[in-house]
Amino acid sequence: MRILVFNAGSSSLKFGVFEGARGAGSETRQLLKGAFERFRDGACAFALEIDGVAEQGEAPHADLGAAIAAVPEVLAQHGIDGIEAIGHRIVHGGAEFATPVVLDAPTLSRIEALTPLAPLHNPANLHAVRLAQTVWPDLPQVGVFDTAFHLTNPPRVYSYAVPAAWREAGLRRFGFHGTSHKYVAERAAQALGQPLARLKIISVHLGNGASVCAINLGKSFESSMGLTALEGLVMGTRSGDVDPGAFGYLQRQLGLGIEEIEHALYHDSGLKGLTGSSDMRDVEDRAAAGDAAAQMAINLYAHRARKYIGAYAAGMGGVDAVVFTGGIGENSASMRRRICDGLDFMGLRLDFDRNQSVDLAGRAAPQIQSYGARVAVLVTETAEQLQIAREVAAHLSRPEAEVRPIPVAVSGRHVHLADDSLKALFGPEYALTIAKQLRQPGNWAAKERVTLVGPKGRLENVAILGPLRRRTQIEVSRTDSFALGIDAPVRDSGDLDGTPTVRLIGPNGQLDTDGLIVAARHVHMHPDDAQAMGLEDGQMVSVRIGQGERALTFGHTKIRIQPNAFTEMHIDTDEANASGIGADWVGEVIEMEAHLGA
């Protein structure tokens, strides 16, 4: 499938052509990379690369419309035809757009309503879409959203501690650079030879815009950018973290209005505000020549990044790899070294020679940590356009899926015991008594019960579900975890490494064991139903439950295909209580996310 990808700004147009087989996971190669930049005085700078050969010069295009209209001629000149779809980078999809979408008129209107969240970016993105629709009216135009990857962030991460009316008006953290962070995480997992779903990765995107993303077991857990692209790291012209009280202070002391302050934080701050230059190469040269302001700027830049890496390692309960990308992350060995120095305490150490001799040819992802270091450190080029092309191909290649009803089951607190735990709690020769068969074939509820004890309280008469498992797993609701006084993480069943310890008490003894989780919502699915609905094992979907005004949508629900499974969705007690879901409710899959694999 041949896809043309656009990344449009107010004064620039980047584009690329990619070719690959339809579907997710297939190899996609870049045929052409081009850019028109700095439209002014009836002309713009032009850059093109094809088969490793670069061309540069000036093109007679006065604006974005003229540049897009010129793209077919550029493609024809280089023998590229047969475009089957257009992919567009859309910066902000709000809380609504978790997956790629075909950009028809109603969808464009919904995206346009999000303009207040990204006033500098979304208007240019949408303008490019409408222009492209006039040039290629018969081709599907698909939007891929920078914010979508971060919609897996939990409420404690995306919420601001502000009045309810502000939060209800949409004030929350979103995060950006999601397409870059997603690509980098997948590339790092590939380079490490590990499934992404088993890794804790910190992606450090350092360019004119900069952000850090914690990627916990394949999902974005937190990103340094917030409601807007101002929060977080020091950037080329953006401030990064600033006390919001600065707005009132600057208004009182300097008489500045909100728009003046906001403009300065976006355009006159960061490296530019500290040194007068937004280019890190220039700042590093000046620092080496003794410029005190440049030296302080570099130290501040590195400190902020290092602080976020440490915080995210703590937030995820560990880290397997730190990955540097973006223009500065890829090219500045000294900045990588400054950021990593001081992180030895968490097992992260750079190798001097490997850090100095990074070669990124052929989309390489070399490791630069010291031999024997506990945390891997990688460097790789980001490839946002390539990732967009992959997601567009996967989205358009999905077959027409049959809609099938999915029964909904509310999962109360329960314990799955391993054999050694059963012996400790009930005695060495004890066998559980089956009280009731469950809908999932081979699963049953036992007559016996146990007690859970935490630092704050205890939960009595907790059900035991059989059969026995290789490892003891305790599933509770979020409210239960507060009653126990333990922060139980939201995890997939069986994903128990690094989970909290809780005390189990039985009639014959007690034990302290890890394995305490809040089970992530999921759908047990029979292979026949999965095939009919076009779903894969491990895929994340959105499920709509109920009809009309009472309909609710549950995003980021994992499909678990098992032989002989009874197809049903499992949600925990808190979700059911908050949503008013009871017996006999059913749902249906309404949206499928790009499959990351297991």
Q: For the chain, give the number of residues.
A: 598
Tokens of 461: 């008469």
Q: What are phi and psi of 229, to 5 degrees?
A: -85, 15
Nearest one of 131, 144, 125 to 393, comparing CA atoms: 144
Distant-in-sequence, close-in-space partners of 586: CB < 8 Å, separation ≥ 6: 405, 406, 407, 408, 545
d(CA 554, CA 497): 26
Residue 155: Cβ-neighbour burial (10 angstroms; 0-12, 13-18, 19+): exposed
Tokens of 323: 């990955």
595 secondary structure, DSSP code: P
Peptide bond into 405 cis (omega under 30): no
146 given a catalytic annotation = yes
Terminal Cα distance for the chain, rounded: 25
Catalytic pick among 81, 146, 512, 514:
146
CA-based R_g, the chain, Å: 26
Distant-in-sequence, close-in-space partners of 318: CB < 8 Å, separation ≥ 6: 200, 498
Q: Which residues pair with 447 in a beta bridge?
A: none
Distant-in-sequence, close-in-space partners of 415: CB < 8 Å, separation ≥ 6: 450, 452, 462, 463, 464, 465, 472, 473, 474, 475, 504
369 secondary structure, DSSP code: B
Catalytic sites, residue numbers? 146
